[in-house]
Amino acid sequence: QHKHSSAGPIPIPLSLSVPGSGLKSSTAIASYYSRGLLGSCCVVPGTGWWCRSWSAVPGLLLAASRPVRVVFAGGEAMGSGRVFSVVASVVLLWLGVAAAQGDSPWKTLSGNAPAIIAKGGFSGLFPDSSEFAYQFAMIASSPDTILYCDVRLTKDGLGVCLPDIKMDNCTNIPDFYPKGKKSYLVNGVSTTGWFSVDYNGTELSQVSLKQSIFSRTPRFDPSFFPLLAVEDVASKFKPPGMWLNIQHDGFYSQFNMSMRKYILSVSRRVIVDYISSPEASFLTSISGRVSNNTKLVFRFLDEATLEPSTKETYGSMLKNLTFIKTFASGILVPKKYIWPVSPDNYLQPYTSIVDDAHKAGLEIYAADFANDFALSYNHSYDPLAESLSFIDNGAFSVDGILTDFPVTPSEAI
C-alpha cells in the first residue's frame, strides 16, 4: 500500500495481464505513484518491461490504461539489475526539466508561475466543495494547487464551504426540511430558497452536497458528502494554499451576523492565503487586521452589475485600479474581461487589463474556466489551448487561474 500524506492508504495492484506474452498475468516487481497515477510494472521474458497505470482516488481505482511496453534508451531490454540505474536517470531528467522551467520568464507580477486555484476542488467532476472534489484536486493537479472555498455562515456562526447561497441548488436539503423554503433580500434582490442562516451545524450534519451544474454527471450524488467547515478543509487536506471567497457579506447583517468577525476569528486558527470578495467595504474592513501574508483580492462581477457598497458598476470601478490598490493586492476578473468573445463565438483582441493591473501593482486572477463550458472557436474546443492563451501568449500572463478542472492549467503551466 502506498500511503499518501493526506489521503490515506491506496491499494497498489500486484499483477497485470500482458498481451501477446502467453501469460495471463505477471507479478509486478515495481510500483509507482505520481500526479494521481498508480502503476505496476513487470518483466516479460523476451519482450522486456511492461507497465499499466490507473488514475485514482484514495481507496478507489478509476480508469485503467492498457498495458504498454516500456522501451528504454537505445531500445535495450532491461533486467532487474538495472532498475536503480534507470530510476536515477529518470530522476535526473525530471530535475533537469524542473531547472529549465525555473529559468523561464513568466510575465506575472511576481515573475513566478501562475497560481492554480481549484474552485471547490475538482468540481468539474465531483460535487463542488465535497471531500472527493478537494481530495482529487490534490491528487490529480499540480502539487502547489490552491483550494478555494465559498464561505457561508450557519445560524450558529459556523463557516461552511458552499458554492451557492441557495442551498437547494447544491445540496439535498429539501429532502430533510421540505418546509424550509424562505425569501430574503440578497444584494437588494428578493431570493427564494433554502439558506444556511436558518440552520445550525447539527441540523446540517445530515445534509449532503450534490452536483450543482445539471449538464454534469449526477453519478456521485448518491454518495454522502457532508458539508465541510473551513477548518475541515485545512486539516483534512493540508493544502499548500487556502483561498476563501466571501460573496455576500451584506446579506448576513440582516441576521445580526458578521462575516468580518468570522474571518478575523478563523484566520487565527487556519492559515488563509487569499481572501476575495466583490464587496469593497468588506475588504476595507479587514485590511490591516489579517496577517500580512494574506492577500486580499477584489472580485469583479459582470461589468453592468452594481457593487453593493460604492453603488458604482464594476465596469466603472475597472477604470480606477489605484482605488482598489488601497485595500487589495489583487483582482479576480471573469476571463472575458481579458479575452472578449464576439456574439458568434470568436475571440476579440485582448484588452489592456492585465498590463493595467500590473502597472497599478495588482496581481490579476482570471475566473470562469471549465473544460465543459463553451469555448471560443479560436481554441478549437481545446481547454488546454485556452489556458495557454492566458499565461503564454508572448504579451502577458495572468497571475492565476480559477478553474473547475485544475488538471488543465496544471498541464498548461
| 38-52, 277-291, 322-336: least confidently modelled range | 38-52
Closest by CA position to 187, among listed 245, 262, 247: 247
pLDDT digits (tens, 9 = 90+) for 190-205: 999 999 999 999 999 9
Residue 10 has pLDDT above 90, yes or no: no
Residue 358 in domain: yes
Note the pLDDT of residue 66. 53
**Residue 400 is part of which domain span?**
116-160+230-412
* Cα 216–chain centre separation: 17
* Cα 172–chain centre separation: 23
Contacts 24+ apart (CB under 8 A), 309-317: 309/250, 309/279, 309/280, 309/281, 309/282, 310/280, 310/281, 314/278, 317/280
Put residue 387 in one of left, alpha, beta given phi > 0 → left and psi -120 to 50 → alpha.
alpha
Give buried/exposed letters for 167-192 (b at 16+ CB in 10 A, else e): bbbbbbbeeebeebeeebebbeeeee
Note the pLDDT of residue 244. 98
pLDDT digits (tens, 9 = 90+) for 222-272: 999 999 999 999 999 999 999 999 999 989 999 999 999 999 999 999 999
Residue 221 in domain: no
Instruction: Give the CATH number, domain containing residue 347.
Output: 3.20.20.190
Q: Pick the most confident of 68-72, 93-97, 98-102, 373-377.
A: 373-377
Note the pLDDT of residue 159. 97
- Of 210 and 66, the structure prediction assigns the larger pLDDT to 210
Contact at 8 Å (CB) between 186 and 248?
A: yes
Number of domains into which the chain is organized: 1
β-strands 330-334, 242-245: how paired? unpaired
Tell me the average pLDDT of the chain.
84
Mean pLDDT across 309-323: 95
Note the pLDDT of residue 105. 79
β-strands 400-403, 363-369: how paired? parallel
Residue 65 in domain: no
DSSP one-letter code for 341: B
Residue 266 in domain: yes
Mean pLDDT across 299-320: 95
- Of 154 and 34, the structure prediction assigns the larger pLDDT to 154
Q: How does residue 187 score in pLDDT terms, banded at 50, 70 and 90?
A: confident
Note the pLDDT of residue 153. 98
Mean pLDDT across 372-401: 96
Residue 98 in domain: no
Residue 369 in domain: yes
Percent of the chain with pLDDT over 90: 73
How far, in Å, CA of 322 to CA of 319, rounded? 9
User: Which amino acid would we find at residue 110?
Assistant: S
Residue 407 in domain: yes
Mean pLDDT across 153-171: 97
Residue 314 in domain: yes
Distances in whole angstroms, Cα of residue 301 to Cα of each of 121, 170, 313: 21, 21, 9
Q: How does residue 188 score in pLDDT terms, banded at 50, 70 and 90?
A: confident
pLDDT digits (tens, 9 = 90+) for 324-371: 999 999 999 999 999 999 999 999 999 999 999 999 999 999 999 999
Beta-bridge mates of residue 296: 275
- For residue 96, the tally of other CB atoms under 10 A from its CB is 10
